[in-house]
Chain A
């Protein structure tokens, strides 16, 4: 019996009146876990019952602990008829299953009913006693930590980054079962909520098992999604990055921690060596709790693993930390062969992380993406989700080959998504092809000298911009120049990525949100025909989305995109494409050329005039944008750079129809010097529209910035005020004579107006930045377009921004002393232990050669360039990432660029403008943010993942204020439930919060509506940096106190 779950029901408050006669309620509570149910006494005639129950004890397998949610139902006792349900609370007890997270869940939870919403609150205390598990064939993975955060969580250090983990489970959707015809909507909704809760528990457990197999102890960048496939079922799938994390116990422990991990790492192969088959090495739980500050007894009981403590107590094996790989290497190679053989086919060198420790990323190749259109059919056997697995495997394989084509061995910032309409489903995956630090990825035995040589090149801030592929054998026509920073390596003229801006990248000016929006009409069709139609449309959409992005980027005078996310949504009669990214000017890349407009009919005078007028407007816009975003790259004179090498001119396929870069650019386009311009040829009204739409994007009002990445390049003095929000808009298109243009305009206006509304609403926060702006488009019905935006507004200090010259440097130095030490040590570990996650042996050589920059044996790569050859699949992004170059400049003189380090946290001297006087508040404040950090504060503890799924339905839509009233209330309720769960865990914030799904359906004629929402994030405890300074010496106590007061406050 590996675990005992204990639950106590304390009290209720604000219950609804269930007995009209007395205006009171006779409430009692059912507590259910698995198949066991307990009941409290009936508390007669009160809206604020005090049950103060005994401890209800459930003795359960830890497998169940992971899968099952605790279900608490509040009912009204009725002597004569059936008891009426007031509502339910589902509590995920997963956070109690690992030691570093919460130890108790205690607090007020909103009682939720799928028809009535929140109906009062209930105070519950939950505890778990875990026993040691010596079962060698265990199915549970208790203790594996999950993080939604897509970077190494702030108070941890990555010892090893193992790699990609994925899993999916399928089931029948209760909403579509025959029984649904006879049961109430409430019963159906609850069955669905419960099933999804169960499925995500199961999924998490299975992923956990995979992590344990890889000998990790955590999943970072965990992304779980639901596919509501309607008739054909329900799919819950998740991806993440398996890691071995080490908790940083206290700032003082940094130095010792620096040395220990490497030793720690070496012990793993050493220990495992006699018994290399990890699958059968039962008792030695690979779960590693390396927090040295824990007392042995405690970690012993909590971790359910005896080998743990032994491991950290065994004398070190005496290997020097510098020569890590040399001795460990052969073992590991052996180990890899043995452990990986089974997983080989399923493993992918993917990382769901978007931010990395300095030095991890060596080169970035560009965005790789793959899409596939599938026809859904009923899932016949829920236990064998092979079809869906196969679909994803196929796509991942394609991504892998794309990355290979770009000379990259890994994909970072990887994510997957689906769009479903009736029985057609588009599966999408995208990421950024990258070369990771060879020290991470090659055996220590191989050429120490190569490593040495590379190291010299690596520390530069421009390294990641350098092309990973062979310039003589490029996978696509690209225009290369020598890096503007180091002058040694080649760089492309534009760089698109899905990751966050590396912290050490040199950026000029500020960044901005760039969106490409596109609609395409599609004929209504059935099944095959529909799928074919969609497949045919996809490449065109991708192409146009890309063109738009490129044009807008140039219009902003920038040369790189980060956090690129392209969403293609399928509807009954149209396809929508929405790409969001953050544009920046990377100092290492060349200045972008302007946009040149060329007319087709040069003889027509007025037309000519019109063209030149447009040209002027575009040039003005570029100039204005440069000013707005403070882009003034240092001028580099020709002599210093050296004369350009003429290159055979390549045709850019980016241009609409065939157009060529014009040589007369210089005359017209003074602001862009001798750089080549981007030519837009206006040959029809369509093109005219496009040019117009380029110019309609209004920049945010002054004092506002926006980006979809974690931090805004160029702003580094955040103050502590944050406001996370969700905004939803649905528009109805007039069904009459819809054309692509009208559709585009509608969609564009929808997005622009939404942004304008946000700027207006948040005007009191100026100066502020909207960060992590996340747009989601869905097409719930024929003529409806729904856009959901979640983002966070963060204030920053404008005055401080002016005097950045000194402080940021100091700050970055300070930070370097902490952060870098936290992170820098793991490269070594990674090189040995992340290797097993690397699936294909030949890739090793390939990687080495790729990273050495020149003389790559291109043969093997060429063979893998087979993208865009699938009939049902759209071509990859890499094909579209065209680089346009006329000249390559060669020079050897380095230019000095002022480095402005973007430090997201306004260390120490931030102005605490809005310290909320929450002392007399009865409800503790819980902050929510889609970012992985909280400005002006330090996260001291991660309490566990929050992953919640809610359904809300109404049959009295008008009475609840129409669709807006209904959804507004529901989203507010979802926020409330998330906050309540976090507070009950003892936390005061949710980071990396994301609303993954918001499916809204209405039927105004029947006065009905239904909405499904899925949210997730990491519950954390944070301490204000101002508070931290006062009591920095006793940090652990502060944490405890702060969480204590928090829970007190909420009771």
Chain B
């Protein structure tokens, strides 16, 4: 006696959260059944393995049919085939678009192309996430990217509108899309200590302040691309380190203000010019795409690492960066105050977030 056909269709589509998770994690039916057995469900319910097998198959089939709709979540809301309560729909979507930290760190800033997709095998082996799950996550990134790529308006809003994600998840996707678009390098060894959250935080600040959308809300691609004009203008900041008088004055202003307030004052004083040169040079280089990509490498190299080697506490870093930014306003010979604020305001936020072990 073999089962040829075995289905269960409810007027309200049954969604088992545990099975959904197993499916999303890319387990085969056999593996999923084994995992469920291990969870002790048979003992709890008195069911047999055959029942579990049939149940799992059913759910997998349902998810497989739902997957097409999940690719365009508004369709899931409007479709008539599956009657699913709204709360469940939200859960389905949110879980489907959720991603693994380990995975996203691997692909963050990479081009979402076929080439990268080929590397998923390696990523799967490295992270222990099933290839199927890697593919889903990668395809999600790519799909969101494609849809919002050329859209006007806020990136987060667009993502939320077209994929019906929660605010939190939509912001994460905005960061992923932003990173993929600008191809920021995040995979270098010295950046390994950074979490996805750190990058997402920086992405949000950059989107808010450094993109076209920050100045003009009616442009295509406004939140995806950095404001080219702004990057061009950043060259003007070079004067802060190129002009020796200005640099000295800046240093003395910062030192005067921070004397006695900083635990690492002497180190700061000794390193001021190096640090300042580092930060300003990063700005000046951003006209080149290559240097934009290396932004985070540069920031870590030029600022985070020197400070860390001198054991600056985070509070001192904050004091320093605040004073460093503010003091520029007192430099009479410096004319690009607004530009400086737009640059430094964001950079300060990023640096503080990046500054940890």
Contact = CB atoms under 8 A, between A and B. Distances in A.
Interface of A: 13-14, 108, 110, 118, 121, 701, 723-734, 746, 749-750, 753, 756-761, 763, 784, 786, 916-918, 920-923, 925-928, 961, 963-965, 967-969, 971-973, 975-976, 979-980, 1000
B256 interface: no
Nearest to B6: A729
A964 B57 contact: yes
A967 B5 contact: yes
B39 interface: no
Contacts of A927: 11
B309 interface: no
A749 B78 contact: no
Given A916-B86, A976-B80, A730 B4 contact: yes
Given A757-B51, A917-B85, A975 B11 contact: yes
A1015 to B, nearest CB: 12
B217 interface: no
Interface string B21-45: 0000000000000000000000001
A760 B55 contact: yes
Contacts of A759: 47
B75 A753 contact: no
A121 B4 contact: no
B83 interface: yes
B80 A110 contact: yes
B5 A730 contact: yes
Query: What 4 A-B pairs have minimum CB-CB distances, sorted nearest first?
Result: A730-B5, A725-B10, A730-B4, A724-B11
A921 to B, nearest CB: 5
B151 interface: no
Contacts of A758: 8
Interface residues of B, number: 41
A732 B6 contact: no
B87 interface: yes
B78 A14 contact: yes
A749 B3 contact: no
26 contacts: A118-B80, A725-B9, A726-B9, A727-B7, A729-B5, A729-B6, A730-B3, A731-B3, A734-B2, A753-B51, A756-B48, A758-B8, A759-B47, A760-B45, A784-B4, A916-B86, A916-B87, A964-B7, A965-B65, A968-B7, A968-B58, A972-B13, A972-B82, A975-B11, A975-B81, A976-B83
Contacts of B46: 701
B65 A723 contact: no
Chain A interface helix/strand/loop/mixed: mixed
Contacts of B55: 757, 760-761
Contacts of B81: 110, 118, 972-973, 975-976
Nearest to B78: A922
A636 B194 CA distance: 81
B61 interface: yes
Contacts of B64: 961, 965
Interface string B78-114: 1111110111010000000000000000000000000
Given A746-B1, A760-B55, A918-B86, A967 B80 contact: no
- Most chain-A CB neighbours within 10 Å: which of B2, B4, B87? B4
Contacts of A976: 80-83
A925 B83 CA distance: 7
Contacts of B89: 921
A378 to B, nearest CB: 32
Contact of B78 (A13, A753, A964): A13
B14 interface: yes
Contacts of A728: 5-7
Contact of B10 (A724, A926, A961, A969): A724
B12 interface: yes
Contacts of A753: 48, 50-51
B8 A918 contact: no
A964 B8 contact: no
Contact of B80 (A730, A734, A979): A979
Contacts, number: 143
A902 B88 CA distance: 34
A927 B79 CA distance: 16
- Most chain-B CB neighbours within 10 Å: which of A701, A727, A927, A961? A727
- Most chain-B CB neighbours within 10 Å: which of A110, A750, A921? A921
B253 interface: no
B77 interface: yes
B85 A980 contact: no
Given A725-B8, A784-B4, A922 B85 contact: no
Contacts of B57: 964
B54 interface: yes
Given A756-B48, A760-B45, A918 B85 contact: yes
Contact of B3 (A727, A729, A928): A729
A750 to B, nearest CB: 8
Contact of A923 (B6, B52, B77): B77
B83 A731 contact: no
- Most chain-B CB neighbours within 10 Å: which of A733, A759, A968, A979? A968
B6 to A, nearest CB: 5
A964 B6 contact: yes
- Most chain-A CB neighbours within 10 Å: which of B7, B48, B86? B7
Nearest to B86: A921
A971 B61 CA distance: 13
B9 A968 contact: yes
A763 B45 contact: yes
Given A731-B2, A925-B85, A961-B64, 20 more contacts: A121-B80, A723-B12, A726-B9, A728-B5, A729-B5, A729-B6, A732-B1, A732-B4, A734-B2, A756-B47, A756-B48, A760-B55, A761-B58, A916-B87, A917-B87, A921-B86, A965-B64, A968-B7, A968-B58, A971-B9
Contacts of A121: 78, 80
A443 to B, nearest CB: 48
B14 A969 contact: no
A172 B40 CA distance: 56
Contact of B85 (A733, A916, A979): A916
Contacts of A918: 85-86
Contacts of B45: 701, 760, 763
Contacts of A13: 78
A731 B7 CA distance: 12
A925 B57 CA distance: 26
A876 B83 CA distance: 44
Interface string B46-74: 11101110110110011011000000000
Contacts of A784: 4
Contacts of A725: 8-11
A144 B11 CA distance: 30
A723 B78 contact: no
A975 B55 CA distance: 20
A756 to B, nearest CB: 5
A723 B10 contact: yes
B11 A928 contact: yes
Contacts of A973: 81
A969 B80 contact: no
Contacts of B10: 723-725
Nearest to B46: A701
Contacts of B7: 727-729, 964, 967-968, 971
Interface in B222-240: none
Contacts of B50: 753
B1 A731 contact: yes
B80 A761 contact: no
- Most chain-B CB neighbours within 10 Å: which of A732, A761, A784, A980? A761
B86 to A, nearest CB: 5
A14 B9 contact: no
Contact of B14 (A750, A756, A761, A975): A761
Contacts of A729: 3, 5-7
Given A761-B14, A923-B80, A975-B83, A963 B4 contact: yes
A964 B60 CA distance: 11
B77 A921 contact: yes
Contacts of B54: 757
